[in-house]
Amino acid sequence: MAGDEKLRIDKWLWQARFFKSRSLSAACVTGGHLRINGQRTVKASHGVGPGDVLTFSQGQVVRVIRVEALGTRRGPAPEAQALYFDLDPPQDKAPADPPPIARMEGNARPTKRDRRKLQQIRKTEID
């Protein structure tokens, strides 16, 4: 029976420290944003065990992980990292912030032209 061990997916995601609270992990699952072994699941009570591959978004990043073990508690980060293996390739850090727009001395608010430049910079970063 040791191979049939399962744990609720919302609880496992919380114990592995992917989400700050169990309700946030349950919201991710019930919102349809999680796949277990390629199959979408919408039940937070769905069981997950060692060997299962999970795909979900965390912020702007899509995470692909393999469950290695089931936890017994929500412990420190090194203990939580032992519960899974990250299948994502290492990603570069987020791009640096764009250089500030030069403004005249004493003028703190951006002009309409400055705002349009900022919007154009942000738009090209997203694409």
Mind listing the domains of the chain with CATH numbers?
A: 2-86 (3.10.290.10)
Q: Quick one: pLDDT at residue 28?
A: 93
Q: What is the pLDDT of residues 2-51, one digit of tens each?
A: 567 899 999 999 999 999 999 999 999 999 999 999 999 999 999 999 99
The residues, ordered by sequence, that sit 6+ positions from 106 with a Cβ below 8 Å of its Cβ are: none
Nearest to 103 by CA among 93, 118, 120: 118
Considering only residues 91 and 115, tell me which one the structure prediction assigns the higher pLDDT: 115
What is the predicted pLDDT for the residue at 99?
Answer: 65
Q: What's residue 119's pLDDT?
A: 87
pLDDT at position 1 is: 44
pLDDT for 94:
61
pTM above 0.75, yes or no: no
